[in-house]
């Protein structure tokens, strides 16, 4: 049984996603976003413009975008004023002249307002105020809380994002910092995200942070001279190993710096292990942001992960989450699900990375963790199909843990050499692309040299939990 991503409904204000059809739109694909943001922290006031460069997949008399609650000042299509209508969470734009199929066009939106999260069945997601700053955590539907977009994971695009805010604040955006300029009391930060990126994986972080450099190479993005910067050392309790080829930075509240050094001190070793198992790190840098507020869960973004102050205690209590979010850079960010029904391909792999790191770092072996979680999952109701859990259970713990158990069982089924060769091939063949469960099944069968239909039917499509094989 193979689940395939449906094509967007032609010309409709829907992506055709089986779980979240109201997010995303048909008729075009975005190639690039140019976002210019001016943000005032105290009043949480955003004045902004967004220029979307897109390609029409159909003839279009109207273009629809996902967008939050802002006052729109003007809209242009290909530089010319266009009529528009804001209705609910959609911005409908009618150009002066219809767009022919195959044409490249731009939509420019100027807007202002107080950004607020999108309410969803998983709580509030998107742009959110902190005690002194802001963060963006958009998975799965929060991107429209701060910019107009085609909000579906399958429509990946490149980005250039400019953020201007008061100079005492540090800004991090999911991208490479290419410019930083201070004028009077404000600073303009410019970031570029050259890899195709899903809307939910774009993030903005604003706060009073120290910037820490984890690579020990003296790496510093252009324009950062004069910023408060600290290089983490390599002594006991500090960075114990580094992946020299991957620039790593962190933005951390000063009060948490010492605890952070211990809790994230083995991140270099994690990157080394994951590159060994999954292939080269897929982005130009890796940035950690620790907010000065508590967060329910850490959040992955493209080339970035965001943790709450409560995840930093100086005792490595949450180290499994450090490697989990790092693994998402391969599974979820570089390899992005074609639609949300395939979410186990994100969470099952990131969870299995936790188990592999535990074994690598001297903790419990993956086999012991698999046995423990198998018993815990078996004690729960057998009412979730991992390959298609349903929208209400996208983030159910069983999708994470049984997804990892599926990978552990596959490892036993085809053997370590084939299993780890499969993982490297999977990440390499689909680098910066879209994936679905059916494609993974075919890839696994290629490395097994035989049909695995019965195996995946048991592990992915049957709610009852199969027995766990030994590895």
Query: Which residue in 195, 213, 325, 413 is the catalytic one?
Result: 325
Q: Does residue 336 contact residue 198 with C-beta atoms inside 8 Å? A: yes
Residue keyed to tokens 């409709």: 12
Q: Which 3 state secondary structure label does DSSP give 286?
A: strand
Overall size of the chain counted in residues: 471
Q: Is the dihedral of CA 115, 119, 125, 131 positive or negative?
A: positive
Question: What is the signed CA dihedral for 335, 337, 342, 345, rounded to 10 degrees?
Answer: 20
- Asked if residue 430 belongs to a known ligand binding site, the reply is no
Q: What are the strands of the beta sheet with 123-130, ordered from one edge? A: 118-120, 123-130, 133-137, 204-207, 170-173
Q: Does residue 56 contact residue 8 with C-beta atoms inside 8 Å? A: no
Query: Which residue in 209, 400, 413, 447 is the catalytic one?
Result: 400
Angle at 245 between CA 241 and CA 246, to 5 degrees: 80
- Asked if residue 69 belongs to a known ligand binding site, the reply is no
For residue 470, CA distances in Å to 349, 355, 455 come to 19, 15, 15
Q: Does residue 168 contact residue 69 with C-beta atoms inside 8 Å? A: no
Q: Which 3 state secondary structure label does DSSP give 10?
A: coil
Q: Does residue 186 contact residue 167 with C-beta atoms inside 8 Å? A: yes
| 325 included as an active-site residue | yes
In DSSP notation, 208-276 reads: S-EEEE-SSS----TT-TTS-EEE---STTS-----TTS-EEEEE-GGGHHHHHHHTTTHHHHHHHHHH
Residue keyed to tokens 């993974």: 440
- Where b means 16+ CB within 10 Å and e means fewer, 147-184 reads bbbbbbbbbbbbbbbbbbbeeebbbbbbbbbeebeeee
Q: Does residue 182 contact residue 172 with C-beta atoms inside 8 Å? A: no
- Asked if residue 179 belongs to a known ligand binding site, the reply is no
Q: Which residues pair with 55 in a beta bridge?
A: 29, 104
CA atoms within 13 A on the CB side of 303: 25
* Percentages (nearest 5) of helix, strand, coil residues in the chain: 25, 30, 40
Q: Which residues are catalytic?
A: 325, 400
Name the binding residues. Answer: 324, 328, 347
Binding residues for Zn(2+), by number, are 324, 328, 347
């Amino acid at each position: 049984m193979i689940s395939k991503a449906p094509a967007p409904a032609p010309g409709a204000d829907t992506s055709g996603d089986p779980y979240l059809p109201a997010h995303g739109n048909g008729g075009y694909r975005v190639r690039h976003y140019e976002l210019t943001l001016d943000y005032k922290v105290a009043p949480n006031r955003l004045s902004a413009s967004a220029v979307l460069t897109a390609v029409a997949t159909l003839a279009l008399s109207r273009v629809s975008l996902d967008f939050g609650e802002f006052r729109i000042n003007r809209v242009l299509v290909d530089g010319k004023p266009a009529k528009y209508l804001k209705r609910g969470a959609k911005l409908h734009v009618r150009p002066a002249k219809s767009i022919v199929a195959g044409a490249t066009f731009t939509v420019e939106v100027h807007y202002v307002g107080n950004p607020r999260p999108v309410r969803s069945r998983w709580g509030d997601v998107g742009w959110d105020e902190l005690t002194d700053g802001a963060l963006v955590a958009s998975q799965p539907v929060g991107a429209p809380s701060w910019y107009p977009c085609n909000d579906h994971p399958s429509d990946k695009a490149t980005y250039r994002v400019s953020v201007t805010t008061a100079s005492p604040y540090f800004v991090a955006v999911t991208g490479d910092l290419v410019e930083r300029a201070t004028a009077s009391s404000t600073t303009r930060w410019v970031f570029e995200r050259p890899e195709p990126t899903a809307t939910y994986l774009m993030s903005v972080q604003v706060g009073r942070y120290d910037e820490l450099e984890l690579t020990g190479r003296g790496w510093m993005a252009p324009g950062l001279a004069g910023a408060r910067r600290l290089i983490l050392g390599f002594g006991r309790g500090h960075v114990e190993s580094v992946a020299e080829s991957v620039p790593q930075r962190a933005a951390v509240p000063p009060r948490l710096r010492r605890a952070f050094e211990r809790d994230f001190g083995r991140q270099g070793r994690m990157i080394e292990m994951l590159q060994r198992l999954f292939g080269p790190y897929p982005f130009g840098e890796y940035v950690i942001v620790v907010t000065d507020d508590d967060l329910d869960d850490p959040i992955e973004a493209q080339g970035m992960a965001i943790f709450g102050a409560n995840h930093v205690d100086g005792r490595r209590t949450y180290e499994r989450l450090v490697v989990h979010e790092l693994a998402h850079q391969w599974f979820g960010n570089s390899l992005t699900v074609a639609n949300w029904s395939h979410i186990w391909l994100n969470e099952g792999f990131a969870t299995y990375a936790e188990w592999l790191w535990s074994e690598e770092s001297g903790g419990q072996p993956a086999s012991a963790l698999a046995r423990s979680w198998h018993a815990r999952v078996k004690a729960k109701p057998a009412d979730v199909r991992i390959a298609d859990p349903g929208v209400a259970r996208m983030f159910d713990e069983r999708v994470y843990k049984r997804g990892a158990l599926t990978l552990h069982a596959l490892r036993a089924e085809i053997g370590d050499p084939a299993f780890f060769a499969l993982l490297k091939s999977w990440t390499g063949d689909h680098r910066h692309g879209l994936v679905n469960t059916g494609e993974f099944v075919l890839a696994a069968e290629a490395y097994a040299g035989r049909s695995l239909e019965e195996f995946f039917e048991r592990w992915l499509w049957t709610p009852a939990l199969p027995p766990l094989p030994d590895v």
